[in-house]
Amino acid sequence: MTHVADMLTVGDPLADAVIAELADLGAEGRQALDQGLAEGLDSLREPPAAIRALLHQLEERPSWLLDADLADGDRATQAIPQPWDVIAFAAVSMTYVYASPSIAKLLMYTGDLASSAAPRRLAETGAWRSAVVLPGGLVRGAPGYVATARVRLMHARVRAKALRDGWDTGKLGVPINQAELART
């Protein structure tokens, strides 16, 4: 239980550092990040430190992950016929995610649970999920790979803003913390 409690205090140090670095570097940093995500770390001559660290982690492949796994994508998810896939995703899994009090509070803070924003949020999440599960979707530079990195960075931006605005970490933990990410 202590490990889970500890994870309530941990965001995403690599993505958090990139957001701070981008604030300092501006367009030049965003261009380096975009190029690195699309073409890989080796395509950058002198990448900024935080961007280099994030790209290095993204490109580091676990020993158990095979090229064939990346090429196939998530075959189990791909096998679920429409509309059952949409029902299972939107009505069941997303409801479970939004049921977390701290996640719901953060989504209310960002406005993403407002009636006008919720359909857009669901569509964005659905587009990300589709890109990730497709064959080759998580190969470096592929749409799912880039989208996943962008989701991490979007979470880091929201986390930084909420912390600047006085988010109660004692009561709710760090916004979008590792325990919540494991839960989702």
Q: Total domain count for the chain?
A: 1
Helix, strand or coil, per DSSP, at residue 139 = coil
Contact indicator for 6, 110 with CB cutoff of 8 Å = no
> Cα–Cα distance between 24 and 28 in angstroms, integer?
10
Percent of the chain at pLDDT > 70 equals: 97
What pTM value is reported for the model? 0.90
Query: What's the angle, vertex CA 65, arms to CA 39 and CA 3, rounded to 5?
Result: 100
Helix, strand or coil, per DSSP, at residue 163 = helix
CA distance from start to end of the chain: 18
Give 43's pLDDT tier (boundaries 50, 70, 90).
Answer: very high
The residue segments making up the domain with residue 174 are: 2-183
Q: Is the pLDDT of residue 144 over 70?
A: yes
Find the helix or strand (DSSP H, E) in which 72 lies.
helix 67-72
Q: Compute the mean pLDDT over every residue in the chain, rounded to the nearest whole number.
A: 91
